[in-house]
Structure 1
Amino acid sequence: MLGTAVLWAVVVGAFFKFVVTEGLARWQLATGETLIEGAVGRLGRGVVWLFLPYLLLWSFFVGSALMSATGVTLHAMLPVFEDAARGKVVFGIAASLAGLVLVWFGGYRLFEAVMRACIVVMLVTVVLAAGLLWPGTLPVLEGLFVPRIPDAGGQGLSWTLALIGGVGGTLTVLCYGYWLREEGRTQPDDLRVCRIDLATGYLLTAVFGLAMVIVGSSISIEGSGAKLLVTLSSRLEEVMGPVGKWLFLVGALGAVFSSLLGVWQSVPYLFADCWGLLKGGVSDASTRVDTQAAPYRAYLLLIATVPMAGLFWGFRDIQLAYAVTGALLFPVLALALLIFNGRSQWVGPAFRNKPLTIAVLMVVLLFFSWIALRPLV
Structure 2
Amino acid sequence: MNKRKFSFGPATLVTAAFIGPGTVTVATKAGASFGFVLLWALVFSVVATMILQEMTARLGVVGRKGLGESIREQFTNPTAKAVAVILVISAIVVGNAAYEGGNIAGATLGIDAVFGEWFLAGTLNGWALLIGIIAFTLLWTGSYKLIERFLIAIVLLMSVSFLLTFIITKPDFSELFSGLFIPTLPDGATLTVIALIGTTVVPYNLFLHASSAKKKWHNEQDLPEARRDLWISIPLGGLITMAIISTAASAFFAKQIEISSAADMALSLEPLFGASAKYLMALGLFSAGITSAITAPLASAYALAGLMKLGNDMRSVKFRAVWISILITGVILASIGFKPISIIWFAQVANGILLPVVAIFLLWTMNQSFLGKHKNSLLQNLLGGLVVLVTLMLSTRSLMSAFGLLN
Unaligned runs of 5+ in 2: 1-32, 401-407
For 1:146-161, what aligned pairs fall within 5 Å after superposition? 146-149=182-185, 151=186, 154-161=187-194
Q: 1:72 touches 1:91 (CA, 8 Å); kept in 2?
A: no
Match of 1:97 in 2: 133
Deviation at 1:176? 0.9
Match of 2:384 in 1: 361
Q: 1:268 touches 1:297 (CA, 8 Å); kept in 2?
A: yes
Match of 2:116 in 1: 80
Alpha-carbon distance change, 13 to 110 in structure 1, aligned in 2, over 3 angstroms? same
Query: TM-score by structure 2 length?
Result: 0.79
Secondary structure of 1:14 counterpart: helix
Deviation at 1:308? 2.6
2: distance between equivalents of 1:302 and 1:337?
A: 25
Q: 2:194 touches 2:352 (CA, 8 Å); kept in 1?
A: no
Do residues 119 (structure 1) and 119 (structure 2) align?
no
Deviation at 1:295? 0.8
> How well do the aligned residues superpose, as a CA RMSD in angstroms?
2.7
Residue 5 of structure 1 is aligned with which of 29, 37, 51?
37
For 1:31-110, what aligned pairs fall within 5 Å after superposition? 31-44=63-76, 45-46=81-82, 47-76=84-113, 78-81=114-117, 89-105=125-141, 107-110=143-146
Deviation at 1:8? 2.5
Deviation at 1:248? 4.2
Q: Give the number of aligned pairs.
A: 356
Letter in 2 for 1:33: K
Match of 2:264 in 1: 231
Do residues 176 (structure 1) and 209 (structure 2) align?
yes
Do residues 339 (structure 1) and 375 (structure 2) align?
no
1:10-45 deviations in whole A, cap 9, x for unaligned? Answer: 221011011111112223334322222222222144
The percent of aligned pairs where both chains have the same amino acid is: 20
Q: 1:290 touches 1:296 (CA, 8 Å); kept in 2?
A: yes
1:216-250 deviations in whole A, cap 9, x for unaligned? Answer: 1122264555xx11233257547851255544443
Q: 1:4 touches 1:214 (CA, 8 Å); kept in 2?
A: yes
Letter in 1 for 2:304: F
Query: TM-score by structure 1 length?
Result: 0.85
* Larger RCO (CA under 8 A, 6+ residues apart): 2
Match of 1:319 in 2: 344
Between structures 1 and 2, the one with greater helix share: 1
2: distance between equivalents of 1:353 and 1:323?
A: 29
Match of 1:269 in 2: 302
Letter in 1 for 2:204: L
Alpha-carbon distance change, 303 to 296 in structure 1, aligned in 2, over 3 angstroms? same
Do residues 309 (structure 1) and 342 (structure 2) align?
no
Alpha-carbon distance change, 131 to 364 in structure 1, aligned in 2, over 3 angstroms? same
Match of 1:24 in 2: 56
Match of 1:284 in 2: none
For 1:167-316, what aligned pairs fall within 5 Å after superposition? 167-183=200-216, 185-220=217-252, 222-223=257-258, 225=260, 228-233=261-266, 236-237=269-270, 241-276=274-309, 289-311=312-334, 312-316=337-341
